[in-house]
Amino acid sequence: MDLTDRPTAIRSGETLDKTLIEAFLKDSIPGLSGDVEILQFPSGYSNLTYLITVGETELVLRRPPFGTKAKTAHDMQREYKMLKALRPAFPYCPEPLAYTEDGSVIGAPFYVMERLKGIILRKELPKTLSFPPDEARRLCEKFLDVLLELHSLDYEALGLGDFAKPEGYVERQVVGWTKRYRAARTEDAPDCEEVMAWLAEKMPADSPRPAIIHNDYRLDNVVLDPNNPLNVIGVLDWEMATIGDPLMDLGNSMSYWVQADDPPEMEMVRLMPTNMKGALTRTEMVKRYEEKSGLPVADFDFYYCFGLFRLAVIAQQIYYRYFHGQTKDERFKPLVLAVRVLDKAARGVIAASDL
């Protein structure tokens, strides 16, 4: 049975003009011929992703969401530049093929890349796919090793020395996400003030080894080989990639890592089968990262707590759009409940921390 990620019909209000897309693609990418068909990948809450079929060729188009959005978010040119630089050294990247900020095509900047066709794991494993405990463990190890590989790259050598400033990265993140939460908070959301105050007080110093960080590295953003699901063949969704503290990247990744012994309410925010039998725990993942990277992972409570808070902000920003009628996507309606769960989880980390 085909387990590859499948597109569906385009959601209401998110259609693209096929004629204009066809003209742009055939003018920008040599060798394309045939009729154009457009479908949409239904998952994801931020940038929109479409499958564009031109004859026998499958491409993926990424564009910002419709409606009001944060000023510096959804930067298509930045994402495209990162992929261009990374692709020669990090083959897990999809190959970027074309970019434009000409609003006359779809009304927003966008880029087109190759399609990486493979298995993407969602909240529950499909019935036709299983990972015995030893294989679940190996999959977790491989997942983490790809992140370690990314963090080991020399960003200066890849021409990304001016992509971002790693100095002061942690402080900018805490201050920036705090401002974003306060700006996006709705009357039915928690204030998160305890969490924001703790993060501001406990900020660690700058990393001695800044690195290229994905900033949204999670199991459903990797593509697995259909012939060997233990093998990662791709990493997707580079919209928040930058140069910064690799432990912040690890903390963000672990904020998605809901494990089997977490409180029941964490099921609401679980997006991947990280609770399957044999899967590494967050503690085991962090220990493996420390051992393989040689980078001391001290004060991980801070990085994990920040990851939970940042995830709450992302959910709240998306919910804000729904709350104010900027999107009709019903998937966004319960996100305020997820914000409450994440705030509670972050406060739990604070209560148990020795920092």
Q: Give ∠ CA 269-82-50 in degrees, rounded to 5.
A: 60
Are both 25 and 171 inside the same structural domain?
Answer: no
The answer, yes or no, to whether residue 71 has pLDDT greater than 90, is no
Span 218-260, pLDDT tens digits: 999 999 999 999 999 999 999 899 999 999 999 999 999 999 9
Are both 109 and 138 inside the same structural domain?
Answer: no
Are both 283 and 152 inside the same structural domain?
Answer: yes
Q: Residues 6 or more apart from 136 whose CB is under 8 A from it?
A: 276, 277, 278, 279
Are both 110 and 143 inside the same structural domain?
Answer: no
Backbone angles phi, psi at 176, to 5 degrees: -65, -45
Are both 62 and 182 inside the same structural domain?
Answer: no
Are both 230 and 91 inside the same structural domain?
Answer: no
Span 4-19, pLDDT tens digits: 778 999 988 899 999 9
CATH number at residue 171: 3.90.1200.10
Pinpoint the alpha helices (H) of the chain. 18-28, 76-86, 103-106, 133-151, 169-184, 193-201, 246-255, 282-293, 300-323, 335-352
Are both 92 and 149 inside the same structural domain?
Answer: no
For residue 45, the model assigns a pLDDT of 63
Question: What residue numbers bound the domain in which 276 lies?
Answer: 133-352
Tell if the pTM clears 0.85, that is, is over it.
yes
Gyration radius of the chain's alpha carbons: 20
Q: How many domains does the chain have?
A: 2
Q: What region does 271 belong to: left with phi over 0, alpha with psi -120 to 50, or beta? A: alpha
Calculate the dihedral angle through the C-alpha atoms of 31, 37, 40, 41, rounding to the nearest 10 degrees: -60
> Could you give the percent of the chain with pLDDT greater than 90?
89
